[in-house]
Amino acid sequence: MNMEQPVSSTVYSTDKEHETKDMDIRSLSSSHPQTPNSPHTHKVGIPPKQNLLKEIKATVKETFFADDPLRPFKDQPRSKKFILGIQTIFPILEWGRSYNFTKFQGDIIAGLTIASLCIPQDIGYAKLANLDPQYGLYTSFVPPLIYAFMGSSRDIAIGPVAVVSLLMGTLLENEVDSKKDAETYRRLAFTATFFAGITQATLGFFRLGFLIDFLSHAAVVGFMGGAAITIALQQLKGLLGIKDFTKKTDIVSVLHSVFVSAHHGWNWQTIVIGVSFLAFLLFAKYIGKKNKKLFWVPAIAPLISVIMSTFFVFITRADKQGVQIVKHIEKGINPSSVKEIYFSGHYLPKGFKIGVVAGMIALTEAIAIGRTFAAMKDYQLDGNKEMVALGTMNIVGSMTSCYAATGSFSRSAVNYMAGCQTAFSNIVMSCVVFLTLQFITPLFKYTPNAILAAIIISAVVGLIDFEAAILIWKIDKFDFIACMGAFFGVVFSTVEKGLLIAVSISFAKILLQVTRPRTAILGKLPGTTVYRNIQQYPGATMVQGVLIVRVDSAIYFSNSNYVRERILRWLTDEEEKLKASYQPKIQFLIVEMSPVTDIDTSGIHALEELYKSLQKKDVQLILANPGPVVIDKLYASNFANTIGEDKIFLTVADAVASCSPKLATEV
Amino acid sequence: MNMEQPVSSTVYSTDKEHETKDMDIRSLSSSHPQTPNSPHTHKVGIPPKQNLLKEIKATVKETFFADDPLRPFKDQPRSKKFILGIQTIFPILEWGRSYNFTKFQGDIIAGLTIASLCIPQDIGYAKLANLDPQYGLYTSFVPPLIYAFMGSSRDIAIGPVAVVSLLMGTLLENEVDSKKDAETYRRLAFTATFFAGITQATLGFFRLGFLIDFLSHAAVVGFMGGAAITIALQQLKGLLGIKDFTKKTDIVSVLHSVFVSAHHGWNWQTIVIGVSFLAFLLFAKYIGKKNKKLFWVPAIAPLISVIMSTFFVFITRADKQGVQIVKHIEKGINPSSVKEIYFSGHYLPKGFKIGVVAGMIALTEAIAIGRTFAAMKDYQLDGNKEMVALGTMNIVGSMTSCYAATGSFSRSAVNYMAGCQTAFSNIVMSCVVFLTLQFITPLFKYTPNAILAAIIISAVVGLIDFEAAILIWKIDKFDFIACMGAFFGVVFSTVEKGLLIAVSISFAKILLQVTRPRTAILGKLPGTTVYRNIQQYPGATMVQGVLIVRVDSAIYFSNSNYVRERILRWLTDEEEKLKASYQPKIQFLIVEMSPVTDIDTSGIHALEELYKSLQKKDVQLILANPGPVVIDKLYASNFANTIGEDKIFLTVADAVASCSPKLATEV
């Protein structure tokens, strides 16, 4: 391992004769310390020049078809392709063929369990969206059926959910007053649902599903938590029996509204019913959490509460004491609402806007649920195909008097724990809802609103994910800011503001990442030829006269100036330190380019300017291990020739080896 | 180098006993093939836990103070700090002290040269902004003076420029008709200039200068080229003597307007004067380009053209033949315009909006020029300080009847070539403009508009940078799309649209980069322990039973799902290949994490899911060389313990070495 063997006779001189320095280094690069047996072999590989069309094709494939959805179609006869195509659109045709009695058992039990949970929730969620209770039930009838045929998640439970209901309620109420003009409001809700479906299906069809990834996990945790608090606060109206309640959703207005009405607006009978059943529901939840086998306790508790409280109000006629009741739920299944959708006029753009926002949020929730359970049971889920399924289900829903449906966190978890096997459990649930709509709705007449409020509160409590927030705090402080931003935005302002904050912070993080990439000084780990960040490995030693800088990102227009300035600053800092300790000055600057996956024209400019600046300082620029794309562009731009091809090495160790003979002559 | 020495007695088995596999690997990792003399030494370094406040401080410093502007202030007494502070705001106090006669000579010559170039340009550019000619001259008087005191570029020539004039003209005309309501138009122009200055100074003061880096070089090249074509087309009005000319700037409307007026609207005397002087100017430009020493020929050609053509029109009285002339330029220096700025009312927000856009574009141009020349002469330029200087100059300018000034590409190049040494050349230019305003303006009365048009055309031709566009095409196809998008946007639509396209494509590129990072399969270069991309190094060989994947980006919420799916797809692809050739299946998946500079909560989730999926497939996940931030978060999230600390290695070679004994027992 004779690293300092003087192969070349070139003597390093401190004057400006750069040209003489460039000689005879290529031969050095092969006096490779680790590879004594294979000299002259490994240069930096230059990949074969690619066809432009091929390159574009590869990029498009990686961007839009990263999951290779057409793989099963490859090398199949046409008739088989057709069948596969149909199966792709309707996965039920695929899994249905291997359906058996064991699976059926699981699905029946799971379906009945989620049905018992969804019926009271649906009635409450419809209220959050400022719609009559039957619309919640409608939304649990048609969309799950459609999804069962087209969706590929086996565990998701479809129907109205709290956050989307609140979001739609808030956004719709901004446009139309639901009290004064209930019909227009309802029509706008269907319009928004229609466009939510269109948005979802379009994103899926054009394989733009990755767009929802731009809402970061942290932002979603914060947003969900904030929405849960907001929803719970809204329920104080029902729980305390307050009649005059603010329309705003921020915590300040709501609490003000609650305390102002404390003296005359609260109804003690309502409070007794509401609080006692809330305690019962939370206790059931606690039991379910303690013992996973008792998951069915919190799942059926809401239905039991509804039955008991309805019966109680019916015999005591507490509604005459001011306890507000549901009063009336329309009997019968979904009427058509095709003609109610605004396909033109003033409300079209408004419905479109609300639909896009609600559709995206609904997607985020459904895809997150789908992915979670797919990972737990280890099956593949095509996000884009899911979006098409969810979109279609909402489009059909909007025409059958449903508002925006999506996957529910709480019901999906119950579905999973109850042992669902396929999407058939959604069909079971849908059938139960159908029976409810046909025969049982009149029985809900005396159900107190306070119970619905208690059910909603106990449902949304689960959306506040303290553990996730703590983990986010531990892992990434910036993520935590995004999380808290979204949370406080929703709680103290409005749902939209919170969402906007979440998206903005997520984007700011991406931009910050690409604007200010990390750089590191590398040192040699003693006894190896491995060079690593000296901050991470304090044992690593720097090579005298050589500064090794690693750039940890692609060099693009957004960071090229920063990277250049930062490298020069490392050099200045180091030179000052060396000067102070009377050590020899730096003669070689090695830029380790392994993490530089790409470079654009601005990046090449930055390297050129760096090279010029270094020439003036009499420091030689050397590049180590540029990747295929980078080396290609270094040659295309002629920069490889400018600095000399013999200044580009396969590894940092090779690059250092090339410097050492020259240093040896001087030190 | 006994890589296959069986240190552990653990026998690999294909059944599901993952637990037994995890034993005794740590000891293997030190049977390190390259480091026979130092066993048991190098583990992956875990950097000391950092103080949160320190961490935030470091991030803020790197984001906003990357160029370390406070370095000279460190360890200085207070009085010295004060003097340095004043010098920082007014660099003239610093360079002025070492000013000498040689520098003075250079500055005088350069100043006179750019003055002769700027006077005719100013008059023409004012027309582009739909303002009276004297406002162009005003803008070449006050702003350069302010800049000379506050700016730190030695080569930039300040004044009105073509692109910003066109941009302001277009944006202002959208709000107010310059013909019908010249006063309101002018006042709005000053308001916009004021806010352009405020925008620039604010960005600089809050060290947000990096925001202009988000307009990529490629987009700027396309935008400038498009603007040059648009400006040249606008000049056809003056050059052909057309009276009724469209107000639109797109190429279709303009050419339509030109040809419709061909029969009755063109004035042949104007065409003769215009075209012959345009030929003269372009010829002068050609001479200057051929022989760099004759740079003064194109520099003084415009002034000569003005003098000759004015004299010609004066003696022939061609203005009576329909040759349009300047007629009148207000005599005297800049009047105050403080009271003309709209600080309230209807026009305030409009002026603000236009000012922000114009200010950003002006900044982009000035900073690009400043950086180019600073790199050529190798001096440091603080972009943020420059922005404060440019902003102050425009704020003062807006109060002294100037419109938005910035650095001019063409005049700065002439300034540089004429041998300017400091910003004093701007003061010289400013003095000449002062004398012109005071004494010479009446002489411009008979200057034909066609000459101004010819001067502008010959000036903007230089903004079309074919070579840059070709280089962009060679280096980066996506950049080329951005370049062409901006170009065609400006040419076929409007300046704003082009700008919007340029910014959008630039952002799309960043987002694509973070959504779809590259991944690569690594192989071993024969005779070394170096692992590289097998596509770049076709000689690299894969290790049997081991798949090594490198992820080339930080793993963030925007790409975490993609990265996970992509790694699994590599695995599936490889397994299919192996199956087809009856080779043993893959037992170890090594993820090389050197380029993974950061990871967030979503990234950790993705790794966890990857780990679960691999467990189901009976493949062991191994990580190689995670950086300091990543290893920190792997421990914070407990993922390091989940996969086993002994599954994290310093290098790929170590990781492979840890697998080989087990493979050896089976193969």
CB contact under 8 A, A476 and B601: yes
Whether A641 contacts chain B with CB within 8 A: no
User: b/e for B89-126, b at 16 or more Cβ within 10 A?
Assistant: eebbeebeeeeeeebeebbbbbbbbbbbbbbbbbbbbb
Mutate: best of B384, B541, B602, B604, partner A, most A CBs <10 A: B602
The mean predicted confidence, pLDDT, of chain A is 86
Mutate: best of A41, A54, A213, partner B, most B CBs <10 A: A213
The B residues from 371 to 430 touching A (CB cutoff 8 Å) are: 371, 375-376, 378, 383
- The shortest C-alpha distance from A402 to chain B (Å) reads 32
Q: CATH fold of B18-46+516-666, please?
A: Transcription Regulator spoIIAA (3.30.750)
For B112, the 3-state DSSP assignment is helix
CA distance B515 to B167: 34
| Residues of chain A above pLDDT 70, percent | 92
Per-residue model confidence as pLDDT tens digits over B469-490: 999 998 888 889 889 999 999 9
User: Among all chains, which residue has been given the structure tokens 């007014």?
Assistant: B90
The A residues from 343 to 372 touching B (CB cutoff 8 Å) are: 371
The pLDDT value given to residue B581: 87
pLDDT reading at B449 higher than 50: yes
- For A341, half-sphere exposure in the C-beta direction (CA atoms, 13 angstrom radius) is 24
CB contact under 8 A, A510 and B514: yes
Per-residue model confidence as pLDDT tens digits over A90-146: 999 988 989 999 999 999 999 999 999 999 999 999 999 999 999 999 999 999 999
Whether B526 contacts chain A with CB within 8 A: yes
Please give the average per-residue pLDDT across B20-44, as a whole number. Answer: 42
For B152, the 3-state DSSP assignment is coil
pLDDT reading at B29 higher than 70: no
Whether B629 contacts chain A with CB within 8 A: yes
pLDDT reading at B150 higher than 90: yes
CB contact under 8 A, A45 and B627: no
The B residues from 527 to 566 touching A (CB cutoff 8 Å) are: 527-530, 532-533, 535-538, 552-554, 556-562, 565-566
For A519, the 3-state DSSP assignment is strand
pLDDT reading at B280 higher than 60: yes
pLDDT reading at A4 higher than 50: no
B599: tokens are: 């990871």
Residue ranges, comma separated, of all CATH 3.30.750.24 domains in chain B are 18-46+516-666
B159: tokens are: 């004044």
The pLDDT value given to residue B214: 79
B605: nearest CA in chain A? A217
Q: Sorting pLDDT into bands at 50, 70 and 90, what band is B339?
A: very high
CB contact under 8 A, A597 and B552: yes
DSSP character for B438? Answer: I
- Cα-Cα-Cα-Cα dihedral of A116, A120, A126, A130, to 10°? 180
Q: Sorting pLDDT into bands at 50, 70 and 90, what band is B33?
A: very low
Angle at B215 between CA B213 and CA B218, to 5 degrees: 110
pLDDT reading at A524 higher than 70: yes
CB contact under 8 A, A213 and B511: no
- For B66, half-sphere exposure in the C-beta direction (CA atoms, 13 angstrom radius) is 26
pLDDT reading at A197 higher than 50: yes
CA distance A573 to A578: 9
Side chain identity at B497, as an amino acid letter? K
**H or E stretch at B159:** strand B158-159
Contact A355, A165 (CB under 8 A): no
Mutate: best of A217, A601, A612, A631, partner B, most B CBs <10 A: A601
Whether B504 contacts chain A with CB within 8 A: no
Please give the average per-residue pLDDT across B438-457, as a whole number. Answer: 91
Q: Sorting pLDDT into bands at 50, 70 and 90, what band is A8?
A: very low
pLDDT reading at B661 higher than 80: no
A550: nearest CA in chain B? B595
The mean predicted confidence, pLDDT, of chain B is 86
- The shortest C-alpha distance from A509 to chain B (Å) reads 10
pLDDT reading at B18 higher than 70: no
- The shortest C-alpha distance from B46 to chain A (Å) reads 6
CA distance B452 to B137: 14
Residue ranges, comma separated, of all CATH 3.30.750.24 domains in chain A are 18-47+517-666
- Cα-Cα-Cα-Cα dihedral of B472, B474, B477, B483, to 10°? 20
B561 chain-A contacts, CB cut-off 8 A: 210, 213, 371, 383
B601 chain-A contacts, CB cut-off 8 A: 217-218, 468, 471-472, 475-476, 479
pLDDT reading at A13 higher than 80: no
Per-residue model confidence as pLDDT tens digits over A550-577: 998 888 888 888 899 899 989 988 988 8
DSSP character for A584? Answer: P
B199: tokens are: 């925008």
Whether A73 contacts chain B with CB within 8 A: no
For A367, the 3-state DSSP assignment is helix
CA distance A252 to A261: 14
Q: Among A430-444, B28-42, B392-406, B497-511, where is mean pLDDT lowest? A: B28-42
- The shortest C-alpha distance from A474 to chain B (Å) reads 6
Residue A584 exposed, middle or buried by CB count within 10 Å (0-12, 13-18, 19+): exposed
The pLDDT value given to residue A21: 37
pLDDT reading at B382 higher than 90: no
CB contact under 8 A, B510 and A506: no
User: Among all chains, which residue has been given the structure tokens 């005088």?
Assistant: B108
Q: Sorting pLDDT into bands at 50, 70 and 90, what band is B3?
A: very low
CA distance A36 to A248: 76
Contacts of A84-88 with C-beta under 8 Å, sequence gap 24+, read A88/A385
Contact A6, B496 (CB under 8 A): no
Side chain identity at A328, as an amino acid letter? H
Q: Sorting pLDDT into bands at 50, 70 and 90, what band is B663?
A: low
For A323, the 3-state DSSP assignment is coil
B563: nearest CA in chain A? A66
| Residues of chain A above pLDDT 90, percent | 44
CA distance A203 to A210: 9
CA distance B75 to A117: 69
Contact A212, A502 (CB under 8 A): no
Q: Which of B378, B528, B602 sits opposite A216 (nearest CB)?
A: B602
Give A223 or B43, the one with higher predicted confidence: A223
Q: Which residues pair with A614 in a beta bridge?
A: none
Per-residue model confidence as pLDDT tens digits over A238-292: 898 888 888 888 999 999 988 888 877 788 889 999 999 999 999 998 998 898 8
A661: tokens are: 């003979």
Residue B75 exposed, middle or buried by CB count within 10 Å (0-12, 13-18, 19+): exposed
For B238, the 3-state DSSP assignment is helix
pLDDT reading at A37 higher than 70: no
User: What sign for the dihedral angle of Cα B59, B60, B64, B66?
Assistant: negative
A217: nearest CA in chain B? B602
CB contact under 8 A, B528 and A34: yes
A535: nearest CA in chain B? B47
User: What sign for the dihedral angle of Cα B191, B195, B198, B204?
Assistant: negative
pLDDT reading at A539 higher than 80: yes
CB contact under 8 A, B214 and A45: no
CB contact under 8 A, B513 and A598: yes
A515 chain-B contacts, CB cut-off 8 A: 63, 210, 213-214
pLDDT reading at A189 higher than 90: yes
The pLDDT value given to residue B451: 92
A613: nearest CA in chain B? B378
- Domain A18-47+517-666: which CATH number of 3.40.980.10, 3.30.750.24, 3.40.1000.10, 3.30.300.20: 3.30.750.24
Contact B294, B287 (CB under 8 A): yes
The pLDDT value given to residue B42: 65
Per-residue model confidence as pLDDT tens digits over A359-417: 999 998 898 888 888 877 878 788 889 999 999 999 999 999 999 999 998 899 889 98
Whether A26 contacts chain B with CB within 8 A: no
The pTM assigned to this predicted structure is 0.79
B518: nearest CA in chain A? A597
Give B350 or B85, the one with higher predicted confidence: B350
- The shortest C-alpha distance from A208 to chain B (Å) reads 11
For A442, the 3-state DSSP assignment is helix
Three-state SS string over B542-575 comes to: CCCCEEEEEECCCECCCCHHHHHHHHHHHHHHHH
Mutate: best of B536, B605, B635, B648, partner A, most A CBs <10 A: B536
Side chain identity at B254, as an amino acid letter? V
CA distance A209 to A384: 5
pLDDT reading at A470 higher than 80: yes
The pLDDT value given to residue B546: 92
The A residues from 214 to 253 touching B (CB cutoff 8 Å) are: 214-218
CA distance B159 to B142: 9
The pLDDT value given to residue A392: 96
Q: Which of B45, B566, B636 sits opposite A536 (nearest CB)?
A: B45
Contact A493, A502 (CB under 8 A): no
Between chain A and chain B, the number of residue pairs with CB atoms below 8 A apart is 273
